[in-house]
């Protein structure tokens, strides 16, 4: 199948998953994850209707940014503080905030650029050593710290990547737990202009339908749209 066909197929499955869980399909956004893929492939996805692209590495995002123009770019991978400056005026949302230090740097650069940056807090639920993200016990404290000192950052919700699994169903418990944390932080008494909690970024090629059933509002799909990545 072509990238166009793949994209339209995933879009259909996304909408169907939302409907069967009693949700409005418009409340779940399909993001195309473009890492390791070439500009021509990205254009094909845009032609099929893709609006939001996600990259996990700053360098790769920058190299595509001048050439490819989706409606929005998202940074979804680990971000080092010394690279914030390079992407601050190029992305709509940073999905991977996992420290106050990083939030402070985003705040400083956003403020200098005269914008407010939307961010998600990345949770590492299984507390895997190999992964970035904070543990669930630290989420509330981090959000409160960001809200109290980062005027040019707006917290929008949570992102998670469950542990690698053999079966997609294995991810369900992590999605469910993440949704629970999401509901808890929604209940916090936070000023809207600093924390407008409405975004839950979870679900990838293998398990996006399960993530939608469990409440995801952004699914990040790469290989099911663009094909397997070639890590040479």
Ligand X SMILES: *Cc1c(COP(=O)(O)O)cnc(C)c1O
Binding residues (CB under 6 A) for ligand X: these are: 33, 35, 56, 76-77, 161, 204-206, 220-224
56/124 with CB nearer ligand X = 56
Nearest distance, CB of residue 99 and ligand X, angstroms? 17
Shorter beta-carbon distance to ligand X: residue 152 or 224: 224
- Smallest gap, in angstroms, from Cβ of residue 196 to ligand X? 22
Shortest separation between residue 162's beta carbon and ligand X, angstroms = 11
Q: Could you tell me the smallest distance in angstroms from the CB atom of residue 155 to ligand X?
A: 18
CB of 228 to ligand X, least distance (A): 8
Residue number with CB closer to ligand X (32 or 88): 32
Q: Which residue is nearest to ligand X (CB)?
A: 222
Query: Residue 76 CB, nearest distance to ligand X (Å)?
Result: 4
Q: How far is the CB of 57 from ligand X (least distance, A)?
A: 9
Nearer to ligand X, 139 or 204 (CB): 204
Distance CA 126, CA 169 (A): 16
Helix or strand holding residue 118 (H, E):
strand 117-123
Q: Which helix (H) or strand (E) holds 145?
A: helix 139-149
- Alpha helix stretches (DSSP H) within 170-228: 172-186, 208-213, 223-226
Measured from the CB atom, the residue of 147 and 182 that comes closer to ligand X is: 182
- Closest to ligand X by CB, 155 vs 204, is 204
Q: What is the DSSP string of the chain?
A: --HHHHHHHHHHHHHHHHHHTT--GGGSEEEEE-TT--HHHHHHHHHTT--EEEES-HHHHHHHHTT---SEEEE-S---GGGHHHHTTT-SEEEEE--HHHHHHHHHHHHHHT--EEEEEEE-TT--TTS-SB-GGGHHHHHHHHHHH-TTEEEEEEEE-PPP-SSGGGGHHHHHHHHHHHHHHHTS---TTTEEEEEEE---TTTHHHHHHTT-SEEEE-HHHH------
Q: Would you state the structure tokens that stand for residue 153, as one six-digit string?
A: 């950052």
CB nearer to ligand X: give 140 or 223: 223
């Amino acid at each position: 199948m072509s990238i166009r066909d793949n994209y339209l197929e995933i879009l259909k499955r996304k909408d169907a998953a939302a409907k069967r869980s009693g949700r409005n399909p418009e409340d779940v956004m399909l993001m195309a994850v473009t890492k390791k893929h070439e500009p021509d492939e990205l254009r094909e996805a845009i032609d099929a209707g893709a609006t939001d692209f996600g990259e996990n590495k700053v360098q790769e995002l920058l190299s595509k940014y001048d050439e490819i123009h989706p409606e929005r770019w998202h940074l979804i991978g680990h971000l080092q503080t010394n690279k914030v400056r390079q992407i601050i005026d190029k992305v709509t949302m940073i999905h991977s905030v996992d420290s106050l230090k990083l939030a402070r740097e985003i705040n400083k650069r956003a403020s200098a650029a005269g914008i407010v940056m939307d961010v998600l807090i990345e949770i590492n639920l299984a507390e895997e050593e190999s992964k970035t993200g904070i543990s669930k016990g630290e989420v509330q404290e981090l959000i409160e710290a960001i809200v109290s000192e980062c005027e040019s950052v707006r917290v929008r919700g949570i992102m998670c990547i469950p542990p690698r699994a053999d079966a997609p169903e294995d991810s369900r418990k992590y999605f469910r737990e993440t949704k629970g944390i999401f509901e808890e932080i929604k209940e916090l008494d936070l000023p809207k202009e600093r924390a407008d909690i409405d975004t839950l970024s979870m679900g990838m090629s293998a398990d996006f339908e399960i993530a939608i059933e469990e409440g995801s509002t952004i699914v990040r799909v790469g290989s099911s749209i663009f094909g397997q990545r070639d890590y040479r």
